[in-house]
A and B are shown apart, each in its own frame.
Chain A
């Protein structure tokens, strides 16, 4: 009995995460975005009923099917109440238009279509990128406000407010979930890709130390991008490039953190911990991405990420540098410029890279000082330590602070041993 209760405690959050978002998408497609709360209520009630019922009767053989049957019945009940309400208290209150009850199914194709439509609904350019990510985590991934706040290192109140505003925009949007058209897709696909890209980066370069949250954000971004690949309308070279990028980066997730939770820099990672199957999946999507003439920033970043999965040889950094050069032309940002200089140093040596870096002079960037610290490490330890020191002052990330402090210690030891 106790064993059963334990497995229920393990199963339910997992199922909830997995099925709640799907169920909401299907129901919402039925009700329309305006009534997303009804969809969420029915989904929540369904899970509540499951937790009560399963604790007494045990877990059914097919938990997901059980959930969908309950959801379907609750929807029917809802419409029954609604029609009584409408016929008896007609014209008293305006309820907005809700689709007449139709037979709707929870089959796999329907679920996939609904979720895809929901991705496009959530990635509404009317909301800020940050708000879109929060909304995606809540509606598409079934995260609680608490969990989102943890991932962003923000107060739950802040996240709640952000979600509230975003949801108002979502409800008032005339976006039609039941007929995702080519025009809808064309007008929003850029925003969708960008939001998924940022969602992944939120996990990969997360502010939080919690490895579990980081991995979850990354795997959710991969799952949602995979949904784009699975639909012919959204299976574009760009989506493939983005997914390739995510696969390559994800392959190193386990190698980036040691068992004490500290970050390990790329060069010191145990390559045996890199996930070969993810790298190979990345290769597959990368080849698909270059089917055509289009080159986007996702293509270039995926290309760079590809080279990071290959062993060091003389040509590797030249390829990376070339890709960074192209990327700079397409979208120059301080981070890209600094990463380019790292690659530049690998090809032309630290000394030349230092004079390149000093041309940039991005004030108050901790990455700038990290880079200079790295470049000076072999030439001028004093300067290296001073730059690392400035980087520590500027970074907000605990992990980064730890890594940099360790690096300074290493340099001190090197200096005194000479």
Chain B
């Protein structure tokens, strides 16, 4: 089995999920769990000033997440599947797409 990080990105910095949206995400996660494919339920990353800083070269520190592009990372989880295609399949049913977000699927480098 390989492990993949699913990295969630959204573009609305003020987005706050409603209880229904949180439940929808939980339902999605439960589906992965029930296939025994969740390695780590990861974390949600807060984007707001005071909880996000970006550090650059020469001691340049800016407020907020690093957003060269308009999107920022809102969180990640780690799943295990045989192939990257399977991991992509898992990602496809995530409700994030309803709010204009996207998911990056990245294989973890495993040192054995």
Contact = CB atoms under 8 A, between A and B. Distances in A.
B48 interface: no
Contacts of A280: 23, 26-27
A319 B27 contact: no
B24 to A, nearest CB: 9
Nearest to A279: B27
Interface residues of A, number: 19
Interface string B13-57: 000000000010011011101111010010000000000000000
Interface in A267-311: 280, 282-284, 286-287, 289-291, 295, 302-303, 306-307, 310
A253 B30 CA distance: 21
A303 B26 contact: no
Contacts of A307: 34
Contacts of B41: 287, 290-291
Contacts of B30: 282-284, 286-287, 306
Contacts of B31: 306, 310
B34 A284 contact: no
Interface residues of B, number: 12
Contacts of A295: 36
Contacts of B29: 283, 287
A303 B33 contact: yes
Given A280-B23, A280-B26, A287 B33 contact: yes
Q: Which of A282, A284, A289 neighbours the largest number of chain B CB atoms within 10 Å of its CB?
A: A284
Contact of B34 (A291, A306, A326): A306
B36 A286 contact: no
Contacts of B33: 286-287, 289-290, 303, 306
Nearest to A315: B35
Nearest to A290: B33
A310 B35 CA distance: 13
B108 to A, nearest CB: 16
A283 B26 contact: yes
Contacts, number: 44
A284 B26 contact: yes
Contacts of A290: 33, 36, 38, 41
Residue of B26, B29, B30, B41 ringed by the most chain A CB atoms within 10 A: B30
A303 B23 contact: no
Nearest to A300: B36
A187 B27 CA distance: 34
B84 to A, nearest CB: 18
Given A287-B41, A291-B41, A319 B26 contact: no
Interface string A246-270: 0000000000000000000000000
Nearest to B27: A283
A389 to B, nearest CB: 37
Contacts of B35: 303, 319
Contacts of A287: 26, 29-30, 33, 38, 41
Contacts of B26: 280, 283-284, 287
B9 to A, nearest CB: 22
B34 A319 contact: yes
A307 to B, nearest CB: 6
Contacts of B23: 280, 283
A302 B26 CA distance: 15
A102 B75 CA distance: 51
A286 B26 CA distance: 10
Interface string A365-389: 0000000000000000000000000
Contacts of B27: 280, 283
Contacts of A283: 23, 26-27, 29-30
Nearest to A302: B34
A311 to B, nearest CB: 12
A280 B23 CA distance: 7
A310 B26 CA distance: 14
A202 B88 CA distance: 42
Interface string A205-237: 000000000000000000000000000000000
12 contacts: A280-B26, A283-B30, A286-B30, A287-B29, A287-B30, A287-B33, A287-B38, A303-B33, A306-B31, A319-B34, A323-B34, A323-B36
- In the A-B complex, the 5 residue pairs with the smallest Cβ-Cβ separation, listed nearest first, are A283-B30, A306-B34, A303-B34, A290-B33, A286-B30
Given A280-B23, A303-B33, A322-B36, 9 more contacts: A286-B30, A286-B34, A287-B29, A287-B38, A287-B41, A295-B36, A303-B34, A306-B33, A326-B36
